[in-house]
Structure 1
Amino acid sequence: MTSTDNQPSTSGDSKLARWVVIAVLAALLAAACILGYLGWTSTDTSVPASGYVALVLGVVFSLVVGAGLMALVFYSSRKGYDEPVVLIPEPESDPDDGRGPH
């Protein structure tokens, strides 16, 4: 008997766990959508023009910051700033050159 014969099958367990996670996340998304809709329609207040201006400015600012950060990530990657550090060993001093260790 090999050591794999005693091990339970995990492929069925991982598929079930994956579906459980998807179902829980879908339920949370549905609950958030329902609560958002109820919150949005529960009052009859109107948003003033300054509220819409603030909303638009916030969205534009967020998009500019996100695009700028992504541009910096691509620039950094293309220029090689994201490469791992390579240590350059110091050259050994030659006793004949007269520049021995101080």
Structure 2
Amino acid sequence: MRTLLIIVLMGMLAAAGYFAYAAMTVEGEPLPTEGYVALALGAGFSALVGIGLMTLLFFSSRRGYDEPPHFK
């Protein structure tokens, strides 16, 4: 069973590698400057949101907001 799992996962990895290679070797015009700007802004915004959410997660964990309620 473990061998079958490894074979399936390796197949999925090979398929992902093939699709990534195929996507990078597409014929056509290169990405315009506006595309690079949009890509950079999108990646930066995603990183900013991720950092903000992780900050809130650590803040709420250290302040005790994640503890279950205690009823009297």
> TM-score category by the smaller chain?
0.7 to 0.9
Equivalence for 1:42: 26
Match of 2:16 in 1: 32
Matched, 1:84 2:60: no
Aligned length: 72
TM-score (norm 1): 0.64
Offset of residue 24 of structure 1: 1.3
TM-score (norm 2): 0.87
Mind listing any 5+ residue stretches in structure 1 that lack a counterpart? 1-16, 89-102
Higher relative contact order (CA 8 A, sep 6+): 2
Q: Runs (4+) of structure 1 moved beyond 3 Å? A: none
CA distance in 1, matches of 2:6, 2:47: 29
1:63 pairs with one of 25, 43, 47: 47
Larger % of helix: which? 2
Cα RMSD between the aligned structures?
A: 1.3
Displacement of 1:44 in angstroms is: 2.9
* Gaps in structure 2 of 5+ consecutive residues: none
User: 2: CA distance between counterparts of 1:19 and 1:63?
Assistant: 37
Identical positions, percent: 49
Structure with the greater alpha carbon radius of gyration: 1
Match of 2:36 in 1: 52
Whole-Å separation in 2 of the counterparts to 1:66 and 1:21: 32
**Partners of 1:18 and 1:62 in 2: CA distance:** 36
